[in-house]
Amino acid sequence: MSDVTIRRAGPADAQALCETSRITFTQTFGHLYPPSDLATFLASSYSLEGARRDLADPAVAVWLAEAEGRAVGHALVGPCHLPHPEVTPACGQLERIYLEEAWRGGGTGGRLMDLALAWLEKDGPRPIWIGVWSQNLRAQALYYRFGFEKVGEYDFPVGETLDHEFILRRG
């Protein structure tokens, strides 16, 4: 396995973001859903048009983790839109942080977290939020290590399936 490099993504990276989003979500959670729910979610949440929109938005930042000549993971941050009464327009959110299975456990997730949190707090400290599947204990451990605390719960739709999610906040 080669070293993983991380770089800030730009508009030309829309296809890579779309592909790594679909691959990493499917590897992490695909087994949980009926195929039709997974296909609906991937098409609506990780479309090429959506990747282009995210990469063109100055309020959103994306980093790609790359190895062996391709994206093997990513982090995406921006304004918070989690369903919690304490969320304000000043809040930031780590919307996604994913790595392919073969690249987990080597410190790349922590490096992506450092970059994401630094960007979210570049203008000073502010509340940062994360939604995480209630059964994703590995991700929760990472987030708790970075100072996040559980402050709520909600249902996250993946097609017709509703996932029980935790809402975490730092700051």
Return the pLDDT at 106. Answer: 86
Q: Is the pLDDT of residue 1 over 70?
A: no
The mean pLDDT of 9-23, rounded to a whole number, is 96
109 within 8 A of 64, measured Cβ to Cβ: no
**Residue 112, domain extent:** 5-170
The mean pLDDT of 3-27, rounded to a whole number, is 95
Task: Report how many domains make up the chain.
Answer: 1
Q: pLDDT class for 2, splitting at 50, 70, 90?
A: low
The 10s digit of each residue's pLDDT in 22-78 is 999 999 999 999 999 999 999 999 999 999 999 999 999 999 999 989 999 999 999
The 10s digit of each residue's pLDDT in 115-144 is 999 999 999 999 999 999 999 998 999 999
The mean pLDDT of 68-97, rounded to a whole number, is 96
Q: Count Cα neighbours of 166 within 13 Å in the Cβ-side half-sphere.
A: 17
Kindly provide the b/e burial profile for residues 32-44, where b requires at least 16 CB atoms within 10 angstroms of the residue's own CB: ebeeeebebbbee
Domain of 77, CATH number, reads 3.40.630.30
Q: Is the pLDDT of residue 83 over 70?
A: yes
